[in-house]
Homo-oligomer: A and B are copies of this chain.
Amino acid sequence: MIALELTTSQIMEIMGRLPYFQELGNDEISRLAEGAREISLKKKEILYREGDPADALFTVVSGSIKISVGHSRNQEKVIDLVGRGQCFGEIPMFLHGPCPSTAQAMEDSYLLSVSRSALMEALDHNCLLAGRMLAGVCRRMHTLIKDIDNCHLRSSSQRLASYLLQHRPDMHSRHYDVVLPGSKHDVASILGLSRETFSRTLHQLEEENIIRVTGPQIRILDVEKLQSYNGWQRIERPPYVKDQ
């Protein structure tokens, strides 16, 4: 992990283009930039571990970061894959507690970190920023809930189908591509499957001509069949009646 020496104005330049901070007042950004650092991570490098203290919010400028739990127990479960422009680390920031998760670079990445003090200062004066952060955190929570729902579906093919349908660009597209946001291992972990099961399930759906897999790209050929996996089982079991 390398902290680069950029000038404040360079950092402001970068921040001004990030979703959270764009269109904020120039003085606001400059104060935030005072508490900001740029961080360079090599592929596989770990930014923080579960339980570490934290006093900064991170934004991905380039590259991608894997957020996971259970890393220390050797039972990694991926909860999010954060791409460029997105933020992470809100939880320890606002709860003033240790990190609940581990953050690891999936490829060489540049991050911008903003210190808690600078951020809190900005939040005290700028409601626009607060609103964006609320929306941001809610969005993360929403995908988390979707993933929980997904992992709770019984069969592996249902989970995969549901995942692929979640990434449908719009309600009416019948064919579309999904590019896996990480290695098959990591995506399997998001789905709560072992990499082996994930691989098998992928091939199973391919056999049935529902999808076509080309490396990390999955082309959806038959949305209806995919949905039938998902919407299946509408058990309307008759109520149990004793002696009848």
Interface residues of A, Cβ cutoff 8 Å to B: 69-70, 73-75, 77, 79, 90-91, 93-95, 97, 100-101, 120, 123-127, 130-131, 133-135, 137-142, 144-149, 151-154, 192, 233-235
CB–CB B235/A145 < 8 A:
no
Copies of chain A in the complex: 2
CB–CB B152/A75 < 8 A:
yes
Grouping DSSP codes into helix (H, G, I), strand (E, B) and loop, the A interface class, with mixed when no group exceeds half, is helix
Chain B residues whose CB sits within 8 angstroms of the CB of A145 once the complex forms: 69, 79, 91, 100-101, 144
Chain B residues whose CB sits within 8 angstroms of the CB of A124 once the complex forms: 127, 131
A-B contact pairs, 24 of them (CB 8 A): A69-B145, A69-B148, A69-B152, A74-B233, A74-B234, A75-B153, A91-B141, A94-B131, A94-B135, A95-B135, A97-B142, A101-B145, A123-B127, A124-B131, A130-B131, A130-B134, A134-B134, A134-B137, A137-B138, A141-B141, A141-B144, A144-B148, A147-B148, A148-B148
Measured CA separation A73–B124 after assembly (Å): 43
Measured CA separation A94–B100 after assembly (Å): 24
Residue of B nearest to A140 (CB): B141
Residue of B nearest to A50 (CB): B149
Measured CA separation A88–B104 after assembly (Å): 31
Chain B residues whose CB sits within 8 angstroms of the CB of A79 once the complex forms: 145, 148
